[in-house]
A and B are shown apart, each in its own frame.
Chain A
Amino acid sequence: MNAPNQSGWKPAMIASKDGMHNGPATTTGNRALMLEEPLLFEIGRADVTGVDLPAVDAAGPTRLAGLTRPEPIGLVGLTEPETVRHYTRLSRQNYGIDLGFFPLGSCTMKHNPRLNEKVARLPGFADVHPLAPQSTVQGALEVISQLGEWLCRLTGMPAVAMSPKAGAHGELCGILAIRAAHEARGDAREVVLVPESAHGTNPATAAFANYRVEDIPATPEGRVDVAALKARLGPDVAAVMITNPNTCGLFEKDFREIADAVHAAGGYVYCDGANFNAIVGKVRPGDLGVDAMHINLHKTFSTPHGGGGPGSGPVVLSEALAPFAPLPFVRKQADGTFYLVEEEHREERGPSFGRMTAFHGQMGMFTRALTYMLSHGADGLKQVAEDAVLNANYILRSMEDILHAPFAASGPCMHEALFGDKDFTGGLSTLDVAKGLIDEGYHPMTVYFPLVVHGAMLVEPTETESKAAIDQFITAFRAVVERALAGDEALKQAPYYAPRRRLDETAAARKPRLAFEG
C-alpha cells in the first residue's frame, strides 16, 4: 500500500496536544490561505460598479409607457478587483475534481478536459443566436447532427432526441414519448414500474406525466426481482424504468429477458442511462431491448458539473418511439445542408409530442461532448468503460475485508462499489464516515443512496484516477472506516478542517432564510 501522503508529511508532525492542530485563534478568523468572505450584500454598494458604461441621462425621454422603476432595486456592486477577489475566495471553499478525488457514486465525477472548454468558447459556437437564419448556422446544426450520430452508434439505437436539458428532463422526454406512443394507438395505460433502487427522478418523472408509480423489489443479490416484475406486467403497465448498470453498481444481467417480457405485455422499456459510463463503447443498450434511454453528457461525456449544472440529457429512442420525439430536430438534406424540423413542418414532424424547451438543447454541452468523443474515439471510449469498472472493482476488493459490501458476492461490480454501515459501532453512521473523509482531503462518496442498503455508501472512482490516487484513497477510507468500526467518538464531530464544521440543516429548514435581509 502506498504511503498515505507522498509529500513528506508524516502524522507525527501534528504538534498540538489534542491532535486537532487548531493553533491560536486569529484576529480575522482567517487561517492563512483559508480566508473568510462576507456576503456580497455586506461589502457591495448600490453606487459602485465594475463596468464602464456610457453615462445616459436616465431621466431622459423614454418609451416605457411610464413604467419606470424609481425605487431602489436593492442590488449592490463591486469593482472588478473586488469582484474577482470575492469569487476567488468563495471558490476556495469548494471541492472540485480539479482539486482531488471525487468518488460521488452515480454522478461520474471524471476529469473535465480543458480542450472542451476551449472549443465551446470558439466564437463560432459561443456567439451564435439560436434563431439566426439556418444558412448562417450550418456548423452549429452539424455539431448537433454529428453528436447525435455518435450517440446512436454508441447505444445501437436508431434515433435520438437532442433537446432535453438534463438527465431528469431526458427522462421526461422518454416517458412522454412512451405515453404518446400508447395514446397514438388508443391504449390508455396508467402504471409505470420502477425498481426501489431507482434514482428519485424516475418516480418523480413518471408521476409528472400522470402515471401511477409502483415499486418493484430487488433481489438479495441487488438486482431487479425478475419474477416479481413479470408477475406485475399487464395491460395497465405502460413502461418499466430500469437503471442499467443499476444503482447497486451491478449489471442487470436479465435485462434482455425483462425487456422481452415488457414488450410482450405491450409496454416499453425506459433505461436510466445515468450509469452509461460503465459500458460506453463496450455494450450497446440497443442490443438489450431498450426503447428509450437518456444520456447525461455531464457524466459519461465529461461536460463539467458546474456546481449543479448545466447538464444535458439527449435521449436515444427505439424505432417504435422515434416518431414521437420532441421538436425541434436536425435533418440533413441531399445537398449536405442541415435544417431544423419545427412546428411548422406539419408533415415531417409527424406525431411528435411537441416542444419541451425553447430553442434546440444545450449547445454548449454538445460542443464539449463531441470534442470529448472525438478525442477518445471508439477505442478510447471502450477503454474508459474498462478502466472505470476496473477501478471500482479494485476499491471493492480492497475494502470488503473491513467494510460491509452487501453485494460483493453477486460478482464483479460495474463502475461503482456499494457499501453499508452494518458493522459500525458506538452509534457511528455513514454520515460520520463521509465527514471523516472530508478531513482526509476527499470529497465523500454518495451516501444513503440507494435506499435498498442501510447507510449506503456508493463509491464511483471513474477512469480518470491514477492507481496511486486510488491507493491513497483506499488507505484513507480504510482508516476512517476502522474508526467507525471501533466507535471513535471524535468522528461524530468531523469535519474539523473544512471551511465549516457540521452545518445545522434542521434549523435551516425550520426557519428558512433564503435571501439576504437588510
Chain B
Amino acid sequence: MRIPAKAGASGWLALYLNEVPAFAGTRNGNLKMRYLPLTDTDRTAMLAKIGAASVDDLFVDVPAVARLDGPISDLPMHASEMAVERHMQKLAAKNMVAGEVPFFLGAGAYRHHVPASVDAIIQRGEFLTAYTPYQPEIAQGTLQMLFEFQTQVARLYGCVVANASMYDGSTACWEAVAMATRVTRRSRAVLSGALHPHYAGVVRTMAKFTGDTIADALPAIQPEPDLEGLIARIDDDTACVVVQYPDILGRISDLAPVAEAAHARGALLVVVNTEPVALGACKSPGEMGADIVVGEGQSLGVGLQFGGPYLGLFAVRDPKHVRQMPGRLCGETQDAEGKRGFVLTLSTREQHIRREKATSNICTNSGLCALAFSVHMTLLGEAGLRQLAAENHRLACLAADRLARVPGVRVLNSAFFNEFTLILEGKPAREIVRDLADRSVLGGVSLGRLYGGIAALEHALLVAVTETTTEEDIERLACELEEAIK
C-alpha cells in the first residue's frame, strides 16, 4: 500500500503538516547500513533456523490493510554520516548561539560555565548507554551516583530526602502539588503570582483533569513579593501553597511567615527553585520551613539545550513524607557478602508495582542529567558553589547598577540573586528584546513573552547575569538598550 502525500490533512491540521525538506539521502536500492550488522548470508541462515521463507513471513500477523509494499515513499532514503552531519550543521547554523553574543536570558533556564570534565564523564558508555538500574549488581555505578546525587540535592535544599530526579522543574512542581493533595487529603493548591507562568500552566493543566482546584494569580509588579496577599488566600481546604524562590521576577524574601501560615491551616509549603546556584548564597527553602522543595537543576552541568532535557529536583524535609514521594529512590543496603551497595527502593510507590494505585505514572527520570549535575556539583564542592554564587551576585549587582543608569530604565527589585526585573519606559519590552536581538544582543526575557497579551506586564524585562557574563557584555547591553529604548 502506498501512502498519500498528505494523509488526511484538513484545514486545521494542514498547519501541522509541512514538507520534509529535500535531503540528499542515497536513493539506490543497495542498502548497507552502518548500524546494522546482519549480512544477507546471516539473514538467510537465520530464516532457515526459524523455518520461514522470507522475513515478510514473520509479519504474517499484520493485517493486509496495514502492510506496506516497500519503504515509506515520502521520506528520504538512508544517508552517509557525512551527509547527515552536514544537514544538521546547516540547521544548527540558523540559531544564534548564546555563547557568541552578550547574553542575559534566564526565566527558568540559566547559562553557566560547565567544566569540560562533566561532558567527558557523561559520555562514558557505561553511564550513557546503561538502562534504569533494575539489576543492581551490575549497575552500582549509576546507583552510587544517584545516592550521592540525592544527598547533594537534599543538602542544597535544606531537606532530608531527595529522589533520583524528575523530568524537569515544571513537572516536578505539579508532582509536588499532587503529593501535597495525597498527604493532606485536600484538593486545593494556592499558587503564588510570582511562580513561573509555565510551571503554573502545567499545574493548571493537570488540575483540570484531576479535579483539584488551583488558586493562581498574576505577578504584582512591585519591588517585593506580596506575601501577605498570598497568606490571605490560604484556607482550611488548602493542600499546599506554592512559592517560587527566587521568584519569577528575581525577587527573594523570607518565606518563614508563609510556612507558618500554611502550617497553621494544615497545609504544606511547596517551594520552587529554578536557579540552584542561588542556594550557594541564599538561605535554603528547608531552613525557612518548606515541606516539599522542587526545582530545575539545569544550571549545573546540563546546559541550555533549547529547553530540554532538563533535570527535575524533588526533596522533602520530613522523613515521614517519603512514602508519598513520586519517582525513583535509591537506597543503601548490603550484598550477600556484607559489602555496601545500592538499590532502587520503596518501589511499592511506583507504577510498575502499584499500577493504577501508584504515586505517579513516572517511569523514566533524567538519569544522565542527574549525573551531569552531580559531577558539576562535585567539582564545585561547597567552597566552589559559594564562590560561584558570590560571583553571580556580584556581577548581577554590577549589571543592575549600570542598567539603572540607562534613561527610561528602572530596576524593580529591592532584593535579587542573579536575575532582576527592569521596567522600561515607552515601547513594550518584547519589542525591545527583538530589537536587541537584531543588534546581536540577547538582552533578556520580556514578561510579554511569558504572559502574552497582558498589558500590565508588558514593560517588564527579566535580566539574568551569571559568571559567564563579562563586564563588557553588561556595558554593551546598557548601550544597546539606551539606543533601542529611544
Contact = CB atoms under 8 A, between A and B. Distances in A.
A426 interface: no
20 contacts: A63-B413, A64-B417, A65-B414, A68-B281, A73-B280, A73-B385, A90-B140, A124-B89, A149-B18, A152-B17, A153-B75, A167-B364, A203-B356, A208-B360, A306-B366, A357-B171, A359-B109, A377-B75, A378-B72, A412-B58
B88 interface: yes
Contact of B333 (A311, A323, A466, A505): A505
A74 B63 CA distance: 61
Given A61-B397, A64-B393, A69-B281, A309 B345 contact: no
Given A83-B378, A208-B210, A509 B331 contact: yes
Nearest to A352: B205
Nearest to B438: A135
Interface string A306-332: 111111100000010011001101011
A376 B35 contact: yes
Given A67-B252, A306-B130, A358-B198, A56 B79 contact: no
A515 B343 contact: no
B160 interface: yes
- Most chain A CB atoms below 10 A, which of B75, B129, B334, B397: B129
A45 interface: yes
A5 interface: no
A412 B57 contact: yes
A128 to B, nearest CB: 5
A466 B390 CA distance: 54
B266 interface: no
Given A125-B92, A129-B98, A512-B329, A153 B375 contact: no
A49 B156 CA distance: 16
B68 A377 contact: no
A109 interface: yes
B364 A166 contact: yes
B205 A146 contact: no
B452 to A, nearest CB: 2
A203 B360 CA distance: 11
Nearest to A329: B16
A444 interface: yes
B222 interface: no
A18 interface: no
Nearest to B302: A364
Nearest to A63: B415
A160 B96 contact: no
Contacts of B284: 69, 73
Contacts of B81: 115, 375
B329 A137 contact: no
B427 interface: no
B85 interface: yes
A154 B124 CA distance: 32
Contacts of A354: 201, 204-205, 208
Interface in A91-124: 91-99, 102, 104, 107, 109, 111-113, 115, 117-124
B445 interface: yes
B452 A204 contact: no
Interface stretch (A169-177, A225-233, A262-270, A476-484): A169-177
A515 B160 CA distance: 8
Interface residues of B, number: 235
A250 B61 CA distance: 8
B254 to A, nearest CB: 6
B304 A126 contact: yes
Interface stretch (B36-44, B231-239, B257-265, B478-486): B36-44
Interface in B1-44: 1, 3, 7-10, 12-13, 15-21, 23, 25-26, 29, 31, 33-39, 42-43
A514 B380 contact: no
Given A256-B65, A383-B33, A505-B343, A136 B96 contact: yes
A94 B335 contact: no
A416 interface: no
Interface in A62-81: 62-69, 71-78, 80
A208 B147 CA distance: 28
A518 B196 CA distance: 35
Interface string B321-359: 010000011111111110101110111101111111110
- Most chain B CB atoms below 10 A, which of A149, A309, A365, A411: A309
A210 B211 CA distance: 8
Shortest beta-carbon contacts, A-B, top 5: A77-B381, A344-B452, A124-B92, A306-B368, A98-B125
Given A359-B198, A514-B150, 12 more contacts: A63-B415, A64-B281, A75-B380, A78-B379, A91-B126, A251-B62, A281-B72, A282-B59, A307-B142, A322-B16, A364-B309, A377-B79
Contact of B68 (A132, A284, A384, A467): A284
Contacts of B119: 121
- Give the bracket for the number of chain A residues in contact with chain B: 35 or more
Interface string B356-394: 111011111111110100010111111111111011011
A253 interface: yes
Nearest to A78: B378
B133 A96 contact: no
Contact of B66 (A73, A109, A256): A256
Given A51-B384, A353-B208, A513-B332, A86 B378 contact: yes
Nearest to A439: B137
Contacts of A376: 33, 35, 78
B267 interface: no
A288 interface: yes
B223 to A, nearest CB: 11
Contacts of B99: 123, 127
Given A208-B361, A375-B35, A56 B117 contact: no
Contacts of B378: 40, 44, 50, 76-78, 83, 86-87
Interface in B96-127: 96-100, 103, 105, 107-109, 111, 115, 117, 119-127
A190 B77 CA distance: 45
- Most chain A CB atoms below 10 A, which of B19, B141, B281, B337: B141
A452 interface: no
Nearest to A346: B453
Interface string B432-457: 01100110001001000111110000
A123 B108 CA distance: 20
- Most chain B CB atoms below 10 A, which of A90, A138, A344, A353: A90
- Most chain A CB atoms below 10 A, which of B139, B151, B363: B363
B367 A93 contact: no
Contacts of B20: 146, 149-150, 153
A505 B133 CA distance: 13
Nearest to B23: A374
Interface in A26-71: 37, 39-41, 44-51, 53-58, 60-69, 71
Contacts of B208: 353-354
Nearest to A172: B361
Contacts of A200: 350-355, 358, 363
A505 B345 CA distance: 7
A382 interface: yes
Contacts of B303: 126-127
- Most chain A CB atoms below 10 A, which of B47, B310, B364: B364
Contact of B137 (A92, A204, A348, A499): A499
A498 B333 CA distance: 16
Contacts of A406: none
A425 interface: no
Nearest to A465: B37
Contacts of B356: 203-204, 206-207, 213
A157 to B, nearest CB: 7
Given A152-B17, A364-B308, A503-B335, A357 B170 contact: yes
Contacts of B280: 69, 73
Nearest to B43: A390
B244 interface: no
A396 B49 CA distance: 10
B46 A132 contact: no
